[in-house]
Amino acid sequence: MGLVFVLNRLTGEPIFPVEERPVQASTVPNEATWPTQPFPSKPPPLVRLTMTGQDISTVTPASNRFCTELFNSLRYTGIYTPPGPDPTLMFPGSFGGGNWSGASFDPATGYLYVNVNELGNARGRSRRFWDDNLWPCQTPPWGTLNAVDLNKGEIVWKVALGVVPELEAKGIPKTGTPSLGGTIVTAGGLVFVAGTYDGLFRAFDSKTGKEIWTTKLPANGHATPITYLGKQNAKQYVVIAAGGGGSFSKKTSDALIAYALSKQ
């Protein structure tokens, strides 16, 4: 859901207050849903938790028409809309928020780095809320990289993660894309992440979120990078598996690529 709960690792108690807020009840006969769900007071949600017809994407007229028709055909009452007998929108969906990619943490700064997806589900778990181009039906950004100060419970920076070349050619840059594959952060102040379906591997300044390096992979890097120190040459390396495939790309590879970091 894009919610970050910060807990005391010894006791499990929340560091920041957690509120129980009312949510929509099920309309399925004889089905009882819990009347509330927990929401942390801090940090803020990393993704949008609700949407309206005003939030339908306008990246192209065709996408807007398709998504408007789809949105109007679905039952939707806000966050945690329970599934029912009628076609239902879940937003964020099962592929929204932080997903299974995980996050990385810098103990020196107390910053958590996590890439998130802005994507809903329609009519079922595997039916995504996107158009025929696999472009999400809500306005961009469709994926972001976030730095969260866990000491203060604040989002320090947020940047769009990923590009859609077809839309860039139309003058619509930095839409972000959904991603599968997490981040790593180095002691030298770099955040590495692949995962996006543009097939790029990126490095960001951990303090500012500025993109400082990018390279094209042979296929999408739907994996979390690793880093290690070479025993013989004392160089630091970052390695990414670029396998591709899945819903985002028919292009596949068996490449495992290592990059040496500069000491400068």
Structural domains for the chain: 18-26+35-260 (2.40.128.630)
**Strand locations in the chain (E):** 18-22, 36-40, 89-90, 104-106, 111-117, 121-122, 143-149, 154-160, 183-185, 190-193, 200-205, 211-216, 226-229, 236-244, 252-260
CA-closest candidate to residue 221, choices 203, 237, 200: 200
Look at residue 123 in the predicted model and tell me its pLDDT.
67
CA-closest candidate to residue 43, choices 153, 157, 145: 153
Q: Which tens digit of pLDDT belongs to each residue from 1-43?
A: 789 999 999 999 999 999 999 999 998 999 999 999 999 999 9
Look at residue 148 in the predicted model and tell me its pLDDT.
98
- DSSP per-residue letters across 122-135: ESSTT-BSB-TTS-
Q: Which tens digit of pLDDT belongs to each residue from 106-126?
A: 999 999 999 999 999 986 555
CA 4 to chain centroid, in Å, comes to: 13
Mean pLDDT value across residues 92-97: 89
Is the pLDDT confidence value at 264 over 70? Answer: no
Look at residue 199 in the predicted model and tell me its pLDDT.
93
- pTM of this structure: 0.93
The confidence band for 193, taking pLDDT boundaries of 50, 70 and 90, is very high
Is the pLDDT confidence value at 208 over 70? Answer: yes
% pLDDT > 90, the chain: 80
Mean pLDDT of the chain: 93
Q: Which tens digit of pLDDT belongs to each residue from 217-252?
A: 999 999 999 999 998 888 999 999 999 887 777 788
Look at residue 254 in the predicted model and tell me its pLDDT.
92
Look at residue 250 in the predicted model and tell me its pLDDT.
79
Mean pLDDT value across residues 88-93: 92
